[in-house]
Copies of this chain bind each other. A is one copy, B any other.
Amino acid sequence: MRGAIIHAPYDIRVEERPDPTIVEPTDAILRLSAACICGSDLWPYRGINEVRRPGPIGHEYCGIVDEVGPAVVSVKPGDFVVGGFFACDNDCPNCRAGFHNACQNFQSYDGCQAERLRVPMADGTLVATPEQPPAELIPSLLTLSDVMATGWHAATMANVQPGMTVAVVGDGAVGLCGVLAAHQKGAARIIAMSRHARRQELAREFGATDIVEERDQAGVDAIRALTDGVGADAVLECVGTGASMIQAIGSCRAGGMVGFVGAPHGVELPIREMFTRNVGVRGGMAPVRAYLPQLMDLVLRGVIQPGKVFDHLLPLEQAADGYAAMDERRAIKVLLTL
């Protein structure tokens, strides 16, 4: 089969890779319907995360079950399924508490930018649609594997409630999905922090009511100016840098919560400011499996259309071009067709 391999920073190649096979009785093999490139794939692409040796890449997927191991009971060949960006048993104490990211049998996988994929713990990881979804819903269903679930997680960890004013730091696909999540959760006012016209436009389409272009302290000041000096009731931190976290905490009102989902790179939390103003910080890797049933239902009913974050479609063979487009911020998010 064909699949993307990262050889070194800025060196992505689509090559022949061995077809995956059932290894454990709890495995499933999928024929992927579409794949995509994640903002977090850019950490190794840019060399910020070390690339020690060439390896398969990609962790978002949806597709058709092709084969299942003998112990799999909840999905069967022919089912259309979505799974999170890691495998989980959906049964340990952490999964049962809704924090599948800390599954006691957690397994990460790379290599989802490919034609086929082995998914461990298929019963715990995959959720099937009731019937085959129409092709136009595939992009939105694909987002549930990571980006939309992650935006949803940011809003959940920030404790977004109906009527709140919510600020979103980061206008990448996750940030935009965070806007959509805050809107769906009933936020009255959503301030998107963005200086890119096309991303601003999508943010507004997803429910943003205000745009702030300033960054750092000027961005904080702008949020305060929009909120009578008080700050946003909840803030979604969707970048993962030290500057974005400082901006998020500064933009949050006293007693508010910052939900953070950007994988932290160089983040030092300002404990004194958190203490003085009682701004809480909670988040991390999204427990995708916890949100999949609800989000799948919202997509299938047409309530949310997170697939709009895909503004570049390329065949898998051109994955390298997709990485370059994301790296140069020409693309919000790239969908790889199969």
Question: Which A residues are within 8 Å of any B CB, using their own CB?
Answer: 93-94, 97-99, 101-102, 104, 157, 228-230, 253-255, 257, 260, 263-264, 267-269, 271-272, 274-285, 287
A242 and B229 CA atoms in complex are apart in Å by 32
A99-B253, A268-B271, A282-B282 known; 9 new pairs, CB 8 Å cut-off, are A98-B255, A157-B280, A257-B280, A260-B275, A267-B271, A274-B284, A277-B284, A279-B282, A280-B280
Pairwise interchain contact A274-B281, C-beta atoms closer than 8 A: yes
Contacting residue for A276 out of B254, B274, B278, B285, CB 8 A: B285
Contacting residue for A101 out of B93, B98, B278, CB 8 A: B278
Pairwise interchain contact B97-A278, C-beta atoms closer than 8 A: no
Quote the shortest CB–CB distance from A279 to chain B (angstroms).
8
A257 and B280 CA atoms in complex are apart in Å by 10
Pairwise interchain contact B275-A230, C-beta atoms closer than 8 A: no
Pairwise interchain contact B263-A94, C-beta atoms closer than 8 A: no
Contacting residue for A284 out of B102, B263, B275, B287, CB 8 A: B275
Pairwise interchain contact B268-A264, C-beta atoms closer than 8 A: no
Q: Pick 16 A–B contacts, CB within 8 A, sort by A.
A: A93-B228, A93-B230, A99-B254, A102-B255, A102-B277, A104-B229, A257-B280, A257-B282, A260-B275, A267-B271, A269-B281, A275-B284, A276-B284, A277-B284, A280-B280, A280-B281
Pairwise interchain contact A99-B255, C-beta atoms closer than 8 A: yes
A298 and B94 CA atoms in complex are apart in Å by 35
When all copies of this chain in the complex are counted, the total is: 2
Quote the shortest CB–CB distance from A242 to chain B (angstroms).
10
Most chain B CB atoms below 10 A, which of A99, A229, A278 = A278
Pairwise interchain contact B271-A102, C-beta atoms closer than 8 A: no
Contacting residue for A97 out of B97, B255, B271, CB 8 A: B255
Given contacts A93-B230, A94-B253, A94-B254, contact A278 B269 (CB under 8 A): no
Quote the shortest CB–CB distance from A155 to chain B (angstroms).
14
Pairwise interchain contact A287-B278, C-beta atoms closer than 8 A: yes
Q: Using Cβ atoms and an 8 Å threshold, which residues of chain B touch A229?
A: 104
Pairwise interchain contact A253-B285, C-beta atoms closer than 8 A: no
Quote the shortest CB–CB distance from A152 to chain B (angstroms).
14
Q: Using Cβ atoms and an 8 Å threshold, which residues of chain B touch A279?
A: 282, 284
Given contacts A94-B253, A99-B255, contact A275 B281 (CB under 8 A): no
A274 and B102 CA atoms in complex are apart in Å by 11
Q: Which residue of B lies closest to A245 (CB)?
A: B271
Q: Using Cβ atoms and an 8 Å threshold, which residues of chain B touch A255?
A: 94, 97-99, 102, 287
A279 and B254 CA atoms in complex are apart in Å by 20
Quote the shortest CB–CB distance from A67 to chain B (angstroms).
32
Most chain B CB atoms below 10 A, which of A94, A254, A281, A283 = A254
Pairwise interchain contact B269-A269, C-beta atoms closer than 8 A: yes
A213 and B67 CA atoms in complex are apart in Å by 52
Q: Using Cβ atoms and an 8 Å threshold, which residues of chain B touch A287?
A: 255, 278
A-B CB proximity, top 7 nearest: A280-B282, A102-B254, A99-B255, A275-B284, A278-B284, A99-B254, A269-B269
Q: Using Cβ atoms and an 8 Å threshold, which residues of chain B touch A267?
A: 271
Pairwise interchain contact B283-A282, C-beta atoms closer than 8 A: no
Q: Using Cβ atoms and an 8 Å threshold, which residues of chain B touch A101?
A: 254, 276-278
